[in-house]
Structure 1
């Protein structure tokens, strides 16, 4: 694969005009070759408006390349003929092009650059020779569309591109051959299939799956088929199915304390990080409803105990002061903790407090919500800042804490103001992630904390190189420099997949809107991919703010614990009480994945944490456990009691302060661990054996004495049924009437001749209404397309010469077993089995589509 190739630099790619639809007047296609933004005649303009037919301009690259981006130059001022919407197609040949971009241009003078999709669905880069731009609409109604200038960028290195072309062609050959091999086996052309495999030198499927086909389809050797299924489980071939099963959750309250019986007090907006190797969870700061905190704790997982590292880090040399809405990351290479960001008491004066825009866990002055609120509510005229707690300037301090070595227990002030050295300004509610191997920290978004709080300002995307102590700013949030760009935000989520070098950035708040978009940022190429403009419409959570997310790169899953959500813009934020926990699964980071709810556990009496926001979570990938602490439960809800009609203070007692000072929200000090529960290997094997034994029972009903089939149903089939599952038990009970009582007298299988599938014998999902014995909702192996077999068909499913000497199934039974075999493949990893698609389904009126 191309992953082993060193990618050369991206350069400007020269091109020429290969063709176009008609043009208007002197506005020919060749005009776009040069960029003259002040020359009104330097453009291509379509002969007619887009509504009157397809308009296009086709470009031919002067050399084969891997195309990375396309830039549209514009006229120096707005123009009604400017393209509003367009699409881009690419290909090696003019008559075979694929759409890779559908986007829009603004009606302004600023050039716009768009990243071009240059890899296929499995991550294989492909070369390009032709580009076709198709205008879909103009900014002016009924105006002809105009393109002023196009510039292309990509990789043109001849050696690199030639390797890409060769590998891509090899991949295409592989795909076509594997589709043909699947088609031949489905139709019982086993000898031609064996001849192709002997000469092609490719692996069609894992050898265990070939053995399963031989045992199940060719020989009906049920004991051997069951043994192969168990071998598949042992070999890890059923792992993808397990990940695709519906996930449940198991919450456990952690009640460990320190030797004095103390735990971190109630708070929200604090920061946590985890040392997975040593099983340590560090917690610092936050807001307790009255003041910002600077206590520093560590929880030792093995001992189930807290330990207070510092009662007040502000009293230590180089220690950080009280703060909330900051972030910490742990460097597993050096054992260092890095801390950035602040919203402290000194930032809570009248001048600096938010005024209705909300905040994750900071005192607010005028925000009032009927269901929940996003912070405390100090008086309109803020109290004087205590001596020593105010920061003289809005400087962004950057700290490091040592957990190992000679400096263990000491703080370093790495920077008094990161903005002065090319880093972010003072921010709050941002996100941080660390690549320990590369020794790089990433910082995304956050709200700028300065003297002009009423003017919403947001930070962008930065990286900090630990080895060189240098900051770098990416232009991912620059609407003029990158497309798609990541809109600046705060209270969002960002996680890093260090293997693929992608950052996932999603949700949060911008202005008054809660967001439900999601982006993937490829670090090596600074490429932004919009995965979802609205993940709610794709089956994900509602737009959310201060949700928390952690990632398991090995499983390629992101776990999301929702905070405040809004079902629609302008609606009152709420705390979800029904399934506020989600999994985002992806196969390729730059392609949209799937959102799945984490379902409640089967034990309805098990304790569950109450909904919250401004909480903190960390993930231990070694034990696959999520840890959650504290947060804000909203108005007057105490974690240990039922909601009261009157607001309570943060300690759960009736608030006796004057109403204008009362913090009516309940902050939490509870600590939980969350395990994601999925079926184990034995459960998956049971489900597969259930499918095998159903087929065995079906054939016994057709061929043997009814009493033998009935005994088999009551013993062997019943033993692999989950009788506690009402649907599965119902299907089991229906097997008797569906097959044994309904089976007509049949001659022995060997004497049967080919008959149409619709005439009987073949089982499909539609032939048994209400079946629930299939695996849970997941990515399934597609059932084969309706197979021919009638008297006039060219495909007769006759015995193949390769089957001579055994006891081959009849044509009808071969088709039936093949369908059940492909149903069994739903349990198998994609890379170990035949292709999902069927060759017949890939045929269209335009020919074969691969």
Structure 2
């Protein structure tokens, strides 16, 4: 965050503690001054081989909020393309505060640093900058200027210092408690816990440990896990698991010929969904030869398409078009439509008017709201823009898109620089437009650069527009930012320059995005990548999920490596790569729907698709996790019974364990089948196979129980569990 955004934040004084590399370098005091025009004003390493780091020592412990890097006045091969920042109260024990990289330009860059642990501010005395990669692959590292921003006021730092010291002491005690319990030092464990009153873990997990490890009461263990699942304690674990995509080709119910029962092949069309009625509406598009003007609805429960209008222009609606946009007010059951693309040969003063329509779903009626929104304070005629709706406030937001001009009107800034539309709002009840932000060619912290082929989504609870990617002239954008519709504030999540390869969606356009406000997730199905000339090689659909709370992208699947022969089969496993498709999301039932698009085949340039798919993002359910836990518990119980009474173990295997095996899971089925061989082994062989030693102490008797306990604890929230580390790992030699 910028310094001005935190009232108590100020520039911190610091001293150079050391620059560490293979040969130490002396750092003169005068380079604490920012001199972007002086190439010698920098810290440099002798090489680009690790270990290298620069340690800054603050005059006193401080809460450090951000770090700013200055640069040389021009690009430089020694700039840090990748680096990490660590912080701590001493230079031997630090935690990671930041991992990022600098743009190779002349502008200062500021980064937020981690300043809280478990919601509490913690102080630092040392800040360590660790270079990882320079922009020149064989060049050394240079840091031109560093500025730390934070607060060293004693009234703030001292309570934080006391809390941090107390926190570290509690963690040390918990590690001791964990070590004592694991090694069956009961007296030491009880004495330390009684003296310090520090809990090793949540009481539920202590109860689980007693049932499982101490008593070997597997039935009580199952009952406790079942209670935990029903109380929602596994929900956090479920939310952190990767999705598995489940595509399904939809074959609608047909009444007559195929042409009458479903929309034909097209791309550049638009779809919206009413999740309350599970109804999808589709309008327009380009079939490879002409624009279309038919309107369709698809009823999900009935699995049926219905043509509402073969030609909406004849029904007082919009003319045939593509590259337009629609949004739906599901409460008032209205669909709004704006924009279209026109070939340059068809552009006249009349055709370049920006018409604006609303469709009344219940009455199957179109109404022309405006013949030309530009005359009413709205956007000019645009295409490949984005439009979404705040249903609660009855406000539509329109951003970006290319402004269509006649070419002879002089509206183009130059032959190589097209016009882009800004950010507008439209208030439906009052029929009023408002220009919120003009297109900006700059890339400042509050500037919005317009574009085409981007994504824009409205988060109903956060009251923010999420905008990312797209194309501006010949530049492919990969930035990601929010616009607060209530405060008119822009916040950049990513400027698109620091992405790690494979960790965020690739720069491109025509990707399709949806949002789930309840899950706090954004979903993106990619489309066409940068190289437009190599369409067949670059139409590589992949599906990404962005976790808004964790600020993290994850790739669910990529299909560019699939066997292309399957895409021509009658029942393919998933849709073939495409662009100019449409994707809508039913947030109530958590299902995506995909229709049509352009496969980008150079040998068939007019080819369009008419396949229809549903996509369900699957995670393990609570019921599936409960079954898995029961299987793990009973599997271990079988192992213990087998060591004492093979006949009883066989009966337990055939009845109690077999009944909960997931026979669709090949690995679990194979493991279950191999368990029978345990019955023919000696106690010593069983002990070797399952890491059990038959001694006198309970915990030593079945150490496999401790392993099972750790496995089950992983399903519970992290804050309930014992520390992850081990006491012996802190011992160094």
Give the TM-score of the pair, scaled to structure 1: 0.65
User: 1:665 is matched with which residue: 589, 598, 607?
Assistant: 607
User: 2:227 is matched with which residue: 206, 209, 231?
Assistant: 231
Moved more, 816-825 or 591-600: 591-600
Following superposition, the deviation at residue 184 of structure 1 comes to 4.4
Gapped runs of 5+ residues in structure 1? 1-6, 350-383, 637-645, 648-662, 747-758, 768-788, 791-796, 800-808
Specify whether residues 217 and 503 from structure 1 end up closer, same or farther in structure 2 by C-alpha distance, changes over 3 A only.
farther
Specify whether residues 722 and 50 from structure 1 end up closer, same or farther in structure 2 by C-alpha distance, changes over 3 A only.
closer
Distance 2:208 2:724 in 1: 20
- Aligned 8 A contact 1:550 1:618 in 2: yes
Partner of 1:528: 493
- Aligned 8 A contact 2:457 2:515 in 1: yes
1:824 aligns with 2:723: no
Distance 1:159 1:438 in 2: 44
Distance 1:17 1:560 in 2: 44
- Aligned 8 A contact 1:448 1:459 in 2: yes
Specify whether residues 506 and 470 from structure 1 end up closer, same or farther in structure 2 by C-alpha distance, changes over 3 A only.
closer
- Aligned 8 A contact 1:237 1:832 in 2: no
SS at match of 2:672: helix
- Aligned 8 A contact 1:327 1:340 in 2: yes
Moved more, 321-330 or 529-538: 529-538
Distance 1:11 1:398 in 2: 51
Distance 2:495 2:637 in 1: 48
Moved more, 717-726 or 202-211: 202-211
Following superposition, the deviation at residue 116 of structure 1 comes to 2.2
Following superposition, the deviation at residue 58 of structure 1 comes to 3.2
Following superposition, the deviation at residue 835 of structure 1 comes to 5.1
Following superposition, the deviation at residue 520 of structure 1 comes to 6.5
Partner of 2:668: 728
User: 1:812 is matched with which residue: 678, 684, 701?
Assistant: 701
- Structure 1 or 2: larger helix share? 2
SS at match of 1:286: coil
Following superposition, the deviation at residue 823 of structure 1 comes to 1.9
User: 1:693 is matched with which residue: 611, 634, 643?
Assistant: 634
Listed as ranges, the matches of 1:545-564 within 5 Å are 545-555=509-519, 557-564=521-528
SS at match of 2:209: helix
Partner of 2:56: 58
Specify whether residues 723 and 113 from structure 1 end up closer, same or farther in structure 2 by C-alpha distance, changes over 3 A only.
closer
Distance 1:388 1:474 in 2: 24
Specify whether residues 465 and 303 from structure 1 end up closer, same or farther in structure 2 by C-alpha distance, changes over 3 A only.
same
Distance 1:435 1:275 in 2: 14
- Aligned 8 A contact 2:272 2:280 in 1: yes
Partner of 2:13: 16
Specify whether residues 416 and 535 from structure 1 end up closer, same or farther in structure 2 by C-alpha distance, changes over 3 A only.
same
Partner of 1:784: none
Listed as ranges, the matches of 1:378-777 within 5 Å are 384-385=345-346, 390-391=351-352, 397=354, 399=356, 401=358, 403=360, 410-413=367-370, 416-417=373-374, 428-433=383-388, 451=407, 455=416, 462=423, 464=425, 470-473=434-437, 478-479=442-443, 481=445, 490-493=452-455, 495=457, 519=480, 526-529=491-494, 537-538=502-503, 545-555=509-519, 557-564=521-528, 572-573=536-537, 582=543, 584=545, 586=547, 588-593=549-554, 595-596=556-557, 610-611=575-576, 612-635=578-601, 664-668=606-610, 670-704=611-645, 706-737=646-677, 739-744=678-683, 760=687, 763=690
C-alpha offsets along residues 547-585 of structure 1, whole Å, 9 cap, x if unaligned? 433333444555444545699996843556xxx564536
1:29 aligns with 2:11: no
Partner of 1:271: 270
Give the TM-score of the pair, scaled to structure 2: 0.74
Distance 1:295 1:62 in 2: 71
- Aligned 8 A contact 2:88 2:127 in 1: no
User: 1:93 is matched with which residue: 75, 84, 89?
Assistant: 89
Specify whether residues 167 and 284 from structure 1 end up closer, same or farther in structure 2 by C-alpha distance, changes over 3 A only.
farther
Specify whether residues 552 and 201 from structure 1 end up closer, same or farther in structure 2 by C-alpha distance, changes over 3 A only.
farther
C-alpha offsets along residues 727-781 of structure 1, whole Å, 9 cap, x if unaligned? 33322222233x33223369xxxxxxxxxxxx945836xx9xxxxxxxxxxxxxx
C-alpha offsets along residues 695-717 of structure 1, whole Å, 9 cap, x if unaligned? 1111112223x222222223322
SS at match of 1:528: strand
SS at match of 1:104: coil
User: 1:116 is matched with which residue: 112, 116, 127?
Assistant: 112
Distance 1:514 1:69 in 2: 29
Specify whether residues 745 and 535 from structure 1 end up closer, same or farther in structure 2 by C-alpha distance, changes over 3 A only.
closer
Distance 1:433 1:170 in 2: 49
C-alpha offsets along residues 662-718 of structure 1, whole Å, 9 cap, x if unaligned? x631342x44433345555444333222211111111112223x2222222233222
C-alpha offsets along residues 499-525 of structure 1, whole Å, 9 cap, x if unaligned? 56787666666788989x685658667
- Aligned 8 A contact 2:400 2:452 in 1: yes
- Aligned 8 A contact 2:31 2:42 in 1: no
1:839 aligns with 2:726: yes
- Aligned 8 A contact 2:75 2:104 in 1: no
- Aligned 8 A contact 1:28 1:44 in 2: no
Specify whether residues 681 and 664 from structure 1 end up closer, same or farther in structure 2 by C-alpha distance, changes over 3 A only.
same
Following superposition, the deviation at residue 128 of structure 1 comes to 5.8
SS at match of 1:111: coil
C-alpha offsets along residues 773-828 of structure 1, whole Å, 9 cap, x if unaligned? xxxxxxxxxxxxxxxx99xxxxxx986xxxxxxxxx25231x220101212334x2
- Aligned 8 A contact 1:491 1:508 in 2: yes
Partner of 2:182: 186
Distance 1:340 1:125 in 2: 48
- Aligned 8 A contact 1:297 1:309 in 2: yes
C-alpha offsets along residues 32-74 of structure 1, whole Å, 9 cap, x if unaligned? 44x6666x59x84448756699574737489955524625265
1:217 aligns with 2:213: yes
Specify whether residues 275 and 154 from structure 1 end up closer, same or farther in structure 2 by C-alpha distance, changes over 3 A only.
farther
Distance 1:205 1:270 in 2: 55
SS at match of 1:268: coil
- Aligned 8 A contact 2:580 2:597 in 1: yes
Paired positions, count: 699
Gapped runs of 5+ residues in structure 2? 564-568
Specify whether residues 211 and 62 from structure 1 end up closer, same or farther in structure 2 by C-alpha distance, changes over 3 A only.
closer
Specify whether residues 184 and 441 from structure 1 end up closer, same or farther in structure 2 by C-alpha distance, changes over 3 A only.
farther
- Aligned 8 A contact 2:242 2:556 in 1: no
Distance 1:186 1:25 in 2: 48
Distance 2:712 2:256 in 1: 55
Distance 1:845 1:426 in 2: 69
Distance 1:608 1:710 in 2: 41
Distance 1:681 1:288 in 2: 45
SS at match of 1:213: helix
Partner of 2:323: 325
Specify whether residues 571 and 536 from structure 1 end up closer, same or farther in structure 2 by C-alpha distance, changes over 3 A only.
farther
SS at match of 2:657: helix
Distance 2:373 2:627 in 1: 61
Distance 1:270 1:153 in 2: 50
RMSD: 5.6
Partner of 1:281: 280
Following superposition, the deviation at residue 630 of structure 1 comes to 2.5
Partner of 2:566: none
- Aligned 8 A contact 1:85 1:105 in 2: yes
Specify whether residues 816 and 488 from structure 1 end up closer, same or farther in structure 2 by C-alpha distance, changes over 3 A only.
farther
